[in-house]
């Protein structure tokens, strides 16, 4: 499968892109946040997971109009039990 056939999130980020797309910039920010968690000596995968879920919940609550999209993301992250959060 070539890069053109892959979904954008599965494609490698262009290294040192001089004019990155918004999707590339957003993915780079996500990568940097994940690296920030993983590159500390006291990295705790469970804490990282819980904080990501907590931020999705905070975003869902703040952006009530995006409720369905946030719930879909929570279901993908946690499975069907996330509907009770």
pLDDT in tens, 47-79: 999 999 999 999 888 887 778 888 888 889 988
Q: Tell me if 20 sits within 8 A of 28, measured CB to CB.
A: yes
Range of the domain at 61: 44-85
Tally of domains in the chain: 2
Integer Cα distance of 72 and 42 in angstroms: 31
Predicted confidence band at 85 (pLDDT cuts at 50, 70, 90)? Answer: low
Whether residues 35 and 66 share a domain: the answer is: no
Whether residues 31 and 56 share a domain: the answer is: no
pTM across the whole model: 0.58
Q: What angle do CA 65, 25, 45 make, to 5 degrees?
A: 75
pLDDT for 42: 95
pLDDT for 32: 94
């Amino acid at each position: 499968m070539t890069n053109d056939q892959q979904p954008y999130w599965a494609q490698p980020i262009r290294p040192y892109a001089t004019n990155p797309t918004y999707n590339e910039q957003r993915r780079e920010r996500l990568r940097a946040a994940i690296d920030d968690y993983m590159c500390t000596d006291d990295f705790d995968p469970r804490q990282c997971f819980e904080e990501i879920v907590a931020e999705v919940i905070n975003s869902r609550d703040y952006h009530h109009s995006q409720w369905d999209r946030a719930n879909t993301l929570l279901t993908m992250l946690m499975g069907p039990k996330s509907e009770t959060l």
